[in-house]
Chain A
Amino acid sequence: MTTRASSEGHPALSDQDWGFATVDQKPEIYNPQPSRMFYVYLAMPAVLLLAAITIYPFLWLIYMSFHKVGFGNASDVFVGVKNFARLFNDSKYLQGWGLLLKYSAICLSIQVVAGVSLAVILNNSRHEKILVTLFLMPMMVSPVVAGLLFYYLYNGTFGWYHWIFQSLGILDETSILGSADTALYGIILVDVWQWTPLITLITLAGLKRVPQDQLEANMVDGAGSISNFFHVSLPNIYPFLLIAVLLRFMDNFRFIDAILALTGGGPGNATRLLPVYLFDVSFKFFKLGRGGAIALTLLIVTIILGMILVKVLEDPARKKALSGDTDG
């Protein structure tokens, strides 16, 4: 009887397994494998909800991009690919792409370098906890509020940053946002200020998991701390960094809040990135059909670029993931 008592935790073991007199069928409640359909039923509400809030609007977006969308009593007119065809002659559309790519590339480069450097500094700091809390603050600020904050900092008469930049001789008379040359960098700074901490945070989490023994082995092999960072830490935090970069990349591609708060796309079209132009077309001029076409192209390019990014960066990352734990 002692063996039976010890098997309490495993109800799936039938009496038969123990050689006792048996009841032929296991009781229903012991059945460890519910039918397939059971899982389908369980997932159904979530799937339906997701379909309603993502797939339906997505299909609607595709529908719009092939129509001239009417308002009020006017009905939608099917126009085929005309909405798309016209985009290629639309200089603002093409320029929007150029600005978006430039903006995104600069933001990402600065954020990765600054974010990783900060993470390394934080990781070696005794005041890590306090500093992390401080660094988190910009991320908690709503993007529009961040935009407004910088609006004051950049202000041509009393803005701090304006004054600093002018004292450094970087700016002439015009304000940062007032000049077509500098406005883009103005909004880049906002994004860097607000989102570098995200990269720092994710990288920091990665740095915590860099196996100590690899660092030690490398030091014994004759490495200093710089080599240690590039040869051991960086390859180990690569998967984390990849996720951070992907997040920021996708976010940049639909960035709009701070620009609307700061410049509204101006001066001229200097900061009219594609998402801003999309906003203008759809909700200022109410050309929902053309807006749909722009949105769709933006979405497709985002997906393609995202996949390229993953492909390019993923290889070493996947190998690292395969390796599992520290015993290498």
Chain B
Amino acid sequence: MVAVSFNNVWKDYGGGAIAVKDLNMEIKDGEFVSLLGPSGCGKSTSLRMLAGLEHISSGEIVFGDKVVNDLPPKDRDIAMVFENYALYPHKTIFDNIANPLKQSKVAAAEIERRVTEAAKLLEIDQLLERRPQELSGGQKQRTAIGRAIVRQPQVFLFDEPIAHLDAKLRARMRGELKHLQFTLGVTTIYVTHDQLEALTMADRIAVMNDGVLQQFGTPQEVYDNPANSWVATFVGEPQMSLMEMQVTSLEGETALAFGSYTIEVDPKNSARLRAAGKKDLLVGVRPDKATVSLDESLGSIRGEVYSRQLLGADVLVEVEIGKSRVRAKANTSFAGTVGTPCYLNFGSEDLYFFDAKDGQVIPQ
């Protein structure tokens, strides 16, 4: 219901701990944005600055057309699910969920109706008389979600709201939250370190590492065109493999030198590599675009099976080639075990190219 933006926001906790570095992000009205990154990368800090719980060291945070840097949390009209639930131990579950409504002096009957509705949705309607200490972790987390969704705020802030639910409930809650967000049209910022959550729910994903925003784009963009090698390996499961290669030429055409092999490159990528003029590259390949086999074929690269993991429908084979390890998906009938010689194959049009020096993607 309001657009939110970070303009050159820094957060310095002092003592050399800079949690967020020069964050710039414009979140559209009604958009669902996911903040994705490893532990300690500054996701919660960014969210808390939006909520007004943390002072920003410099820059500005804007809601709509209003700079809210100095606005206290109560005047920001936000609802937040905290990472550690932050329930009130002396209140019943009902009163916990009802708290935001009571704060804004909603009529008792209306409170009753809305709390019951939220509790039903979250499957905690049997627990309303209990107190937080009598609930399991997942039930507490659902109570925390209930407290946020019981009211229709300008902005939803979710800090890993379903991290402690079981897989089935998590899948259901993903759907429910997404549905709720869509029907209410509330601008939502959703922190998670689970990329599946980010990829499936968000309109756009902001990938953070070490306090720096790495990339901000749609799930498809982030997956298909990662901005740098870090994003490329962070997003996507199983992880993309990176190989060190050099640009060379083969019979006048651009090609890649990988150990003792020379790999031909398709015309489109070859033009791209030529334009960039870099020599040392990190070349990535996603496991499902690489095949592994015990038989040699045209253009295949010889290696050894390093490990073999069953993924259910297929197996993930890690192939050791020189000092690189490349992951590839194979049929469950793949017979190799650790140490077996095998042959890896991939098409150059499926490769990702990054500058070996700074990890930035080679422009298209």
Contact = CB atoms under 8 A, between A and B. Distances in A.
Q: Do A and B bind each other?
A: yes
A315 to B, nearest CB: 10
Contacts, number: 82
B89 A213 contact: no
B90 A222 contact: no
B8 interface: no
Interface of B: 51-53, 72-74, 78-80, 82, 84-90, 99-100, 103-104, 131-133, 140, 147
30 contacts: A213-B82, A213-B86, A214-B88, A216-B86, A217-B80, A217-B82, A217-B86, A217-B88, A219-B73, A220-B51, A220-B53, A220-B80, A221-B99, A221-B100, A221-B103, A222-B74, A222-B100, A224-B72, A231-B99, A235-B90, A238-B90, A319-B90, A322-B133, A323-B90, A323-B131, A323-B132, A326-B84, A326-B86, A327-B84, A328-B140
Given A323-B131, A323-B133, A324-B133, A222 B86 contact: no
Given A213-B84, A216-B53, A227 B90 contact: no
Contact of A328 (B53, B72, B132): B132
Contacts of B104: 222
Interface residues of A, number: 27
Nearest to A217: B86
Nearest to B74: A222
A328 B89 contact: yes
A320 interface: yes
Contacts of B87: 214, 217, 328
Given A220-B80, A222-B74, A320-B90, A327 B85 contact: yes
Interface string A294-328: 00000000000000000000001001101110111
A232 interface: yes
Contacts of B131: 319, 323
Contacts of B90: 235-236, 238, 316, 319-320, 323
Interface string A197-227: 0000000000000010110111111111001
Q: Is the interface of A mostly helix, strand, loop or mixed?
A: helix
A86 B211 CA distance: 81
A324 B89 CA distance: 9
Q: Of residues A214, A320, A322, A324, which shows the largest number of chain B Cβ atoms within 10 Å of its Cβ?
A: A214
A238 B91 CA distance: 14
Contact of B73 (A216, A236, A319): A216
Contacts of A326: 84, 86
Contacts of B74: 219-224
A220 B144 CA distance: 12
Q: Which 5 pairs show the lowest CB-CB distances between chains A and B?
A: A323-B89, A222-B103, A213-B86, A328-B87, A217-B86
Contacts of B79: 220-221
A104 B80 CA distance: 46
A328 to B, nearest CB: 4
Contacts of A322: 133
A327 B84 CA distance: 6
B75 to A, nearest CB: 9
B238 to A, nearest CB: 33
Contacts of A320: 89-90
B72 A218 contact: no
Q: Is the interface of B mostly helix, strand, loop or mixed?
A: mixed
Nearest to A322: B133
Given A219-B53, A222-B74, 14 more contacts: A211-B86, A213-B84, A213-B86, A216-B73, A219-B72, A220-B53, A222-B100, A235-B90, A322-B133, A323-B90, A324-B133, A327-B85, A328-B87, A328-B89
Interface string A232-255: 100110100000000000000000
Contacts of A221: 74, 79, 99-100, 103, 147
B140 to A, nearest CB: 7
A236 B90 CA distance: 8
A112 B131 CA distance: 28
Contacts of A238: 90
B103 to A, nearest CB: 4
A236 B52 CA distance: 23
Contact of B86 (A223, A227, A319, A328): A328
B152 to A, nearest CB: 13
Nearest to B53: A216
B82 A223 contact: no
Contacts of A216: 51, 53, 73, 82, 86
A231 B91 CA distance: 9
B103 A227 contact: yes
B176 to A, nearest CB: 21
Nearest to B83: A213
A267 to B, nearest CB: 47
B85 A328 contact: yes
Contacts of B85: 327-328
Contact of B88 (A224, A227, A328): A328
